[in-house]
Amino acid sequence: MSDKVSRRQFAKLAGLSAAGIANPLEAAEVKPAPAPRGVDGFPAGFVWGTATSSYQVEGAVDVDGRGASIWDKFVRIPGKIEDGTTGDRAVEHYQRYKEDIALIKELGCKAYRFSVAWPRVFPDGDGKPNPKGLDFYNRLVDELLKNGIEPWLTLYHWDLPQSLQDRFGGWRSTETCKIFGDYAGYVAERLTDRVKNVFTLNESGRFVQFGYGLGIDAPGVTLPQAEVNQVRHNSALAHGLAVQAVRAHGRPGTRVGPAENIDVCVPAIDTPEHVRAAEIALREMNAGYLNVIMTGRYTDAFLKYAGADAPKYTDAELKIISSPVDFLGLNIYAPQNYVVPSDQGAGFMPLPIPKSFPHMNSNWLRVAPETIYWVPKLAAKIWKTDAIYISENGTSGDDVVTPDGKIYDTDRIMYLRNYLAQLQRATAEGVPVRGYFLWSLLDNFEWVFGLNKRFGLYHVNFDTQVRTPKLSATFYRNVIAKNAAGA
């Protein structure tokens, strides 16, 4: 399965081809003022963090009243998970969170991005809340703050309550969107006295297409393109409702925004013509989610291409979807498209990725450090945002434990060193990237790959649950201490 479809390669799958697009970007240039800088490093106050998600690390799926999620059911379908494992145990973060927070502190990170498991708080998605579920996140937040670590909360990282899938078809129904808004308000009311930054939905582009279009992820549904587009619209609506709920129920000063695996478009060559083509491509390839969130409208090109498969919506829904956000979270790993100019319709043409293109331990994870330079640079211009956070970036690795009991993951260090150098280049030019969350703190349950792919700075022995720092943990600690790439 992993060889057939790459984890984040969505351009052609998302229902929008470059062919026939003729809707150029506004020419207005946005030039954010550079943030105060250290000497030869990242801006002063740059947020250094790491990240996990609930289903991937917590385990304890039937503990303290947690309800079932769509992933609890999906992992039990034969053949869906590469190694046949589940997240039932994961890495026992539910029990070991204090130990894991100590690891975050050891890195020198001042921020931790985690997700709340919706079915822990509302076992059926709605109805009666489960106090023991919220209590866990209260304890987690308090422990983070006790250790000088700022909590960054994600409301949804794919573990939809199974009850909502059974009753409403999950994200196929706007009922789920409304219930998500209620859940967001409940969490915001009870945690934003201490949590000041909230991500809404993580990676709509992944869970919509892979979960409802291709059936590769939970809930494993394969819908016609028109229905997939409607599910994507509904996820954007859920985002907007969550933003409004956080504003209404959160404490003053709470910030909120999306965390999206943006469909990456990179200019093949750094010339004005190629950069312009990449701008158009980045907007149009993300027209079905990020662009409508940031602008309040679907582009003419998107609607024309979708035709009869275009989502059905109202002006009122567009207004909700485009509720103002405080920041833009971008999950950036690898390029989906290198782009060249075209004089036919689109104004750009995506190039096929050569078979010889270098990649990491995961075949989909192509090594292209310039990606993390170009994407925030172009996104800031297109969507006129002054606060971008790299909400995920990292890599899997072979991570062999040597006879001395250590993991010398120089492949991961190579990847991070080069990506962070390009990110530093972006901030030096005034691109408003305010922080970076490395994926991931720990090796964990990597969705359809099971336990086969390791992304952590800390190695986890899945039998004993012992955590061991990899060499990359020392590298990242040095980067944070120096506030500069190349450590």
Catalytic pick from 58, 150, 203, 284?
203
DSSP 194: T
What sign results for the dihedral spanned by CA atoms 205, 169, 68, 240? positive
Q: Are the CB atoms for 214 and 205 separated by under 8 Å?
A: no
Catalytic pick from 58, 279, 317, 392?
392
Rg of the chain taking only CA atoms, in angstroms: 21
What sign results for the dihedral spanned by CA atoms 210, 215, 217, 219? positive
Distance CA 412, CA 416 (A): 6
Query: Could you tell me how many residues make up the chain?
Result: 487
Distance CA 55, CA 273 (A): 43
Whether 203 is catalytic is yes
Whether 392 is catalytic is yes
Distance CA 272, CA 350 (A): 16
Give the three-class secondary structure for 157.
Answer: coil
Nearest CA-CA partner of 233 in 110, 317, 175, 304: 317
Distance CA 152, CA 51 (A): 9
Read off φ and ψ for residue 177, nearest 5 degrees.
Answer: -60, -45
Which residues on adjacent β-strands are paired with residue 321?
Answer: none
Which residues on adjacent β-strands are paired with residue 197?
Answer: 152, 255
Nearest CA-CA partner of 195 in 132, 124, 113: 113
The distance between the two most distant Cα atoms of the chain, rounded to a whole number of Å, is: 63
Catalytically annotated residues:
203, 392
